[in-house]
A and B are shown apart, each in its own frame.
Chain A
Amino acid sequence: MTLSSLFRSLPISLLYCIFLIPIPLYFYWGTVNQLGPDPMRFLEHKYGELGLIFLLTTLSISPLFKYAKINLMRYRRCIGLVAFYYIVSHICVYFFLDIGLSIDILLSDLQKRYYIIAGFFAFITLIPLALTSNNFALRKLDIKTWNRIHSLIYIAIVLSIFHFILMSKTWTGELYLYTGITIFILILKIKSTKLYKKLSTYSNADISK
């Protein structure tokens, strides 16, 4: 490894450390009872919320580059994987601590609880993204396939937001914020699709007629 490549890779690994430290830290605080009266729920919600925040951050990197000329592309893989690790931690808390390893509850939740179903499928759609977020996969897959896999993130974010809305009792400030950001990002994405452009040129053509 040359010196320059070391410099280039160092900040990213540092970034991983900084972004991921809250996972063990919050868990430790939970074990020493520093997370309030309901530490399990706190931990579960904190990991889930941070997962959602990192997911939204990954999603805003491309529009930030396109519309605001802020280039954070270099950090996109890191942030995306960090989001995935938070979501894995979130699910671990649910399975090990919340439902206490009960397969019965898991299965009945997956049949009856819409927020669990939405969350479950959000996680499933993220797995291929996480598995292909490395140089090896980038080399092996052609870019079209890779892009197609990674556009699954838009399905994941919609499912995640539904997961959040469906488990809430009322519309809280956070819920408005995250839903608002998601809708904004989705609108930008839809506007940049080929289909949208095609349709808008057609309709423009109609008007000019």
Chain B
Amino acid sequence: MVDEVVNIIGSYILKILKYSDVTPKNLYLNRRKFVEGLGLTSLAFVATPTTAKLSYSTSAKPNTIDEITNYNNFYEFGTSKTDPAKYAHSLTTDPWEITFEGVSQNKKKFDLPEILKGKAIQERIYRLRCVEGWSMVIPWIGFPLRDLINELEIDSDAKFVAFETVYRPTEMRGQKRATLDWPYREGLTIEEALHPLTFIATGLYGKELPNQNGAPFRLVVPWKYGFKSIKSITKISFIKEQPYTTWSSKSPREYGFYSNVNPNVDHPRWSQATERVIGEGLFGERRKTELFNGYIEEVGDLYKGMDLKKYY
């Protein structure tokens, strides 16, 4: 029993220690102090387990780091799944600046460390379902987007949040070709952006986010198709109208603004009823795709009464 408790406390401390990898160095020292004072906190944690944090993670077994970092759709580095692992190293992720629009505060540009300062970094193990019909389970590290939004003085009439990926053709070879209308843009409704599941990832597997996975700052919306989870974000705008989004503008019939995972609404050219589970090998069986990627309890209310076939 004592061993168990020690183990739990130990693994918890370890997890926090790992955050040093995803936290800029100037914050790292402060965290060390925090860990030192953790003795009491962690005991308290064991006594009253925080269910909130645990329930947002799936119990499914995460994919290996190899799978997660070598099978990526990140057209900024090429259209092949292996291109990002090959070419993403050329992207400079430090320093990294994020610009906010639709906020009334004077300061609109922030360096990444300024944004991360004071954020409670946590792990979220999420399912990721790609619109192409495959899925993975990824242990992200980061914080809920709402933690960031709540710090900003956003315009009161904002109904949508628009995100933009960095545009740097010299560092992102895929942007030299007009495969997509660069820069890559995505968006959410403000309700979706404020949902506690909506996450900003700055790391995975307890380590700094690899470039091919959208370093240094990316969105993760686990109940939507993967392309909604925009990578390497440099601009976030709070706006009144539904924003331009890359895939849904390229092919509006195939990719909707919402793009919630839905086995009953097929992509016009292929079925969305099932998915291939990455990591199951050559003879792996397909998995039945779940509505909202299995997060119906959490997000179902957001779309109550909405015709999901119309607003796909």
Interface residues of A (CB under 8 A from B): 30-31, 33, 35-41, 43, 97, 99-100, 105, 108-109, 112-115, 166-167, 169-173
Q: Quote the shortest CB–CB distance from B65 to chain A (angstroms).
A: 11
Which residues does chain B contribute within 8 Å of A37, judged by CB atoms?
A: 63, 66-67, 70-71, 81, 278-279
A100 CA / B81 CA spacing, docked (Å): 23
A129 CA / B205 CA spacing, docked (Å): 53
Which residues does chain B contribute within 8 Å of A100, judged by CB atoms?
A: 285-286
Q: Quote the shortest CB–CB distance from A143 to chain B (angstroms).
A: 41
Looking at B75, B266, B281, which has the most chain A CB atoms within 10 Å of its CB?
A: B281
Q: Mark B264-275, 1 if CB is under 8 A from A, else 0.
A: 001001110000
- Which positions 169-206 of chain B face chain A at CB distance < 8 Å? 179-180
Q: CB < 8 Å: which of B67, B70, B276, B286 contacts A41?
A: B276
Q: CB < 8 Å: which of A39, A112, A113, A169 contacts B281?
A: A39
Q: CB < 8 Å: which of B75, B180, B269, B279 contacts A113?
A: B269
Asked if B276 and A43 make an inter-chain contact with CB atoms under 8 angstroms apart, the answer reads no
Asked if A39 and B282 make an inter-chain contact with CB atoms under 8 angstroms apart, the answer reads yes
Given contacts A37-B70, A100-B286, A170-B179, 4 further A-B contacts (CB under 8 A): A37-B71, A39-B282, A41-B134, A97-B282
Interface size on B, residues (CB 8 A): 28
List 7 contacting pairs A-B, 8 Å CB cutoff, sorted by A.
Answer: A33-B281, A35-B282, A38-B278, A39-B281, A39-B282, A40-B276, A171-B179
Kindly state whether residue B298 has any CB partner on chain A within 8 Å. no
Asked if A30 and B67 make an inter-chain contact with CB atoms under 8 angstroms apart, the answer reads no
Which residues does chain A contribute within 8 Å of B134, judged by CB atoms?
A: 38, 41
**Closest 10 pairs (CB-CB, A-B):** A37-B71, A37-B67, A30-B282, A39-B282, A172-B79, A37-B278, A170-B179, A40-B282, A38-B278, A31-B282
- Which positions 41-71 of chain B face chain A at CB distance < 8 Å? 63, 66-67, 70-71
Looking at B179, B266, B270, B284, which has the most chain A CB atoms within 10 Å of its CB?
A: B270
Asked if B70 and A36 make an inter-chain contact with CB atoms under 8 angstroms apart, the answer reads yes
A195 CA / B259 CA spacing, docked (Å): 50
Asked if B81 and A114 make an inter-chain contact with CB atoms under 8 angstroms apart, the answer reads no
Kindly state whether residue B241 has any CB partner on chain A within 8 Å. no
A114 CA / B256 CA spacing, docked (Å): 20
- The dominant DSSP class at the A interface is helix
Which residues does chain A contribute within 8 Å of B79, judged by CB atoms?
A: 169-170, 172-173
In the complex formed, the residue of A with least CB distance to B283 is A97
Which residues does chain B contribute within 8 Å of A166, judged by CB atoms?
A: 269
Asked if B180 and A170 make an inter-chain contact with CB atoms under 8 angstroms apart, the answer reads yes
Which residues does chain A contribute within 8 Å of B80, judged by CB atoms?
A: 172
A33 CA / B281 CA spacing, docked (Å): 6
- Given A38-B278, A97-B282, the answer on whether A167 and B179 have CB atoms closer than 8 Å is no
Looking at A30, A36, A109, A166, which has the most chain B CB atoms within 10 Å of its CB?
A: A36
In the complex formed, the residue of B with least CB distance to A167 is B269
Which residues does chain A contribute within 8 Å of B132, judged by CB atoms?
A: 169
A108 CA / B282 CA spacing, docked (Å): 23
Q: Quote the shortest CB–CB distance from B173 to chain A (angstroms).
A: 12
Which residues does chain B contribute within 8 Å of A108, judged by CB atoms?
A: 271
Q: Quote the shortest CB–CB distance from B108 to chain A (angstroms).
A: 33
